[in-house]
Each structure stands twice: as C-alpha cells, then as structure tokens.
Amino acid sequence: MEKRKIGSLEASLAGLGCNNFGWRIDADGTAAVVNAAIESGINFFDTADIYGGGQSEEFLGRALKGRRDKVLIATKFGMKMAEGKQGGKPAYIRQAAEDSLRRLGTDHIDLYQIHQPDPSTPIADTLGALDELFKAGKVREIGCSNFSAEQLREAAQATKGARFVSVQNNYSMLHREPEAEVLPECQRLRIAFLPYFPLANGLLTGKYRQGQPFPKSSRAEDGFGPKVFTEENLALVEALRGFAESRGHTLLELAMAWLAAKSSIASIIAGAKTPDQVKANASAVAWRLAEADLTGLERILNG
C-alpha cells in the first residue's frame, strides 16, 4: 500500500480508526480487525484514551504485541476521561501520556495528538509539555485534532520545539468544511491532514438507500443519523453510487479514492468492526481517480 509522510513517519494511505475497540467490539474482535489490517498493508492505527474508556488502547496494545516495531500507533488526549482528567495543561499531559503508554503496553507513541483545543490553556504551554515528551523519546511526533486554521496558525507561531505535524478533522465528500481554510493552511505550514469520518458515519459505505430503513446495529440506528442522514444527502449518495458503479467501483471505494486524490492527506482514518470491513477500506485506496473523474465528481457534489 502507498505510504505518505506524517512528519518523519511513513503511514499507510488507509489507516485504521480504533474508536470501535472496547465499545462496539471486544478484545477478540479487536485482534481480528487488527490482524486483517496488517495483512492488508495498513500500518497506521489511530486511537484515543477516551475510546472505550481506555479499553481501545488496551485492546490495541494487546493485539499488536510482538509486532510493535512494524506499526505506527497514534493516540490522543484532552477529552474528559474523568473528573480533573482533561485538557491541555502540562501536568495533565504528562499524566495522560504515561497512562496511554501503560495501556498500550509500549515505551513510545508514534503520533501523540491533542484531541480538541483547550481554550483554558495557552497553546504554548501545551506545546512545551509535548516537546518534553518528544525530547524524552516518549513520543515521535505530535499533532492536533479538531483545530481551525486560525488555531493551527497560533500553534505554529507559539512553537519553540516540536511542532504539530498533523491535524485530524472531519472530512468527506459530504462534509467539505476543511477545504475553505484548514486544507490551504496545511499546505502552507506543511502539515499532514488526517480525515476522520471519511465515510460520513457510514452513509458512504453503500448500505443506506433512500426510502429504506436503517440496517440493524448501524451507526445511523445507534443515533449518529440526524446530522448526515438527511434526504438531501441520501439523494446525493444515490448520484455518487451511480457514478462509482458506472466505473466498476463501489460507493465506498469512491469515498476513499476521492480523499486519496488530495495531496495534503496522509492517511485516511476509517473505522471497522469486522475483518471484511477493514479489508474493503484498505483495498479502496488503490483506485486512482483520473482528472476527468474528479471534474465529474465536482459537478455532482456542487449540485
């Protein structure tokens, strides 16, 4: 599989989002998905301390035992784990990093990301603590998530040591907000962009159709539906499905290939509950969209 740069890291173009681990699948299910990911050429695993209340990191660490040197582990801190355990203050970052290292069963984190901005803490303080971890060899690179272009600029100006090499934000054919400011800022600052929800909470997997009930145990049925599962989006999905199928591909392959065509994107963070799902995500990035395809897609997306 193609690899792209996240700072000094060489990450697979398809990454595995580990938010299902410890929540929707257990330790055995996690191991099966991780094994399928590695067999499919995925080396980039993205988790967070908050996923599964810490179990995502634990299950991932267990599943990667004996193969740690062959993969890249990205995790995040900052969202509320417990009372007093959140944010970007230096003392908490040091504690959160040690907790993640313990749960993951490793001595270093390849990409350590602040999960969301902390308005109560100067970004320079957060960066200073992350730089300490970088210098100590506990993290190889640092990144951020859910940051605006203005927040990326502020961080760049405050940097005195290790700098953010990545930003992880919501981006898909149905959520194109990053194109306005964040992606241009990534180009300017040489920051890798890591899209999460590339399949729009499953709407771009192909399993949802206009006028049909949501599949059982789907993210839509679990309550993720109202924001993206609109009639307008379902109609757009039908047009995109037709575009993909006319070229011998699935809607899922189109969603992943569209993101892969963008140079700022380093690794596409797609979650999976089963080995088959992770294999489908991994194979999807092999499709290289031609310029004519991209032009045709813009016409559909812009309505």
- The predicted-structure confidence for 51-101, as pLDDT tens digits, reads as follows 999 999 999 999 999 999 999 999 999 999 999 899 999 999 999 999 999
Among residues 75, 129, 141, 78, the alpha carbon closest in space to that of 102 is found at 75
Whole-angstrom Cα distance, residue 299 to residue 89? Answer: 45
Contact (Cβ atoms closer than 8 angstroms) between residue 118 and residue 68: no
- List, in sequence order, every residue forming a beta bridge with 45; answer none if it has no partner: 16, 73
User: Using an 8 Å Cβ cutoff, are 104 and 60 in contact?
Assistant: yes
Q: Where does residue 105 fall: left (phi above 0), alpha (psi -120 to 50 degrees), or beta otherwise?
A: left
Domain boundaries defined on the chain: 3-301
CA distance 1 to 224: 31
Catalytic: which of 51, 171, 196, 208? 51
- Tens of pLDDT, residues 220-243: 555 555 577 888 889 999 999 999
> 156-195: per-residue pLDDT in tens?
999 999 999 999 999 999 999 999 999 999 999 999 999 9
Q: What angle do CA 246, 260, 251 make, to 5 degrees?
A: 30
CATH number given to 3-301: 3.20.20.100
Q: How many CB atoms lie within 10 A of CB 289?
A: 17
Compute, in degrees rounded to 10, the torsion defined by CA atoms 32, 45, 130, 62.
Answer: 20
Catalytic residue at 171?
no
pTM for this predicted structure: 0.93
